[in-house]
A and B are shown apart, each in its own frame.
Chain A
């Protein structure tokens, strides 16, 4: 059964790009438009790829909320942001990685294969 990856981004183009990369490599994708939407879709996911700046609940708030709920879902941030204080905040909140857009498909797959165990 294909592993399900939760892709959280307010940009339809990025969701499409990430989804295409993952589905063409045997994964199933669940899409969410922000952190709040994602909270309702985490059930079957093996990991999450999550934007940082989103309207509604942003990516770091999502990571914090998941940690507060005791979730062990691996979350990797995929964002245009590169500031060290944000990277540190995400790491402290429990994120497993940080990728700065544009992503390299082979790099994304490497991370997903490693974390979606």
Chain B
């Protein structure tokens, strides 16, 4: 598996876990076909960088799924930003097992009609099925040329999502 395939695979697994945690019953799904119209209206974008990696994540979720997971009193745009932040947070924790650290920027939410991201290398988005709804993520990640992603048990002591430590 190439570095890029591994990154996509990790992000895909992170999405399933995150959406499941909010009761959306996520399943990995095939990427959209070339030219398929996605009708995106709300998307969150976050950048990330570190010594070995840099890039951007864009997350779009169908309104139905966004509203199903929306905490009472929250705005959909704020919630989408938080979901993007948590998705990238999970990704960061997964990459820590490979000795890759990254810093996450503040999410930016874009509202519009037929949003159409243009990603380097024409990377197809990741897609998750959330019942009748869908989520898409564009991961534009660039690893330093000398980096080989090898999982290390010594680096696996990351506190898991949902876990509580008391000191």
Contacts and interface: CB of A to CB of B under 8 A. Distances in A.
Interface of A: 10-14, 16-17, 20, 53, 55, 79-84, 87, 91, 95-104, 107, 111, 114
A100 B159 CA distance: 7
Contacts of A80: 85-86, 88-90, 92-93, 104, 161
A13 B75 contact: yes
B162 A11 contact: no
A97 B167 CA distance: 5
B106 A100 contact: no
Contacts of B104: 53, 80
Contact of A103 (B81, B82, B159, B162): B162
Interface residues of B, number: 34
A107 B162 CA distance: 9
A11 B82 contact: yes
A11 B81 contact: yes
Contacts of A81: 89, 92-93
B79 interface: yes
Interface string B5-46: 000000000000010011000000000000000000000000
A71 to B, nearest CB: 16
Contact of A100 (B75, B79, B162): B162
B74 interface: yes
Nearest to B163: A100
B75 A87 contact: no
B75 A82 contact: no
Given A102-B22, A103-B162, 11 more contacts: A12-B74, A14-B82, A16-B73, A16-B74, A83-B101, A96-B167, A98-B159, A98-B164, A100-B161, A100-B163, A104-B162
Contacts of B161: 80, 82, 100-102
Interface hub of B104, B157, B159 (most chain A Cβ within 10 A): B159
A103 B73 CA distance: 17
Given A96-B167, A100-B162, A102-B161, A13 B96 contact: no
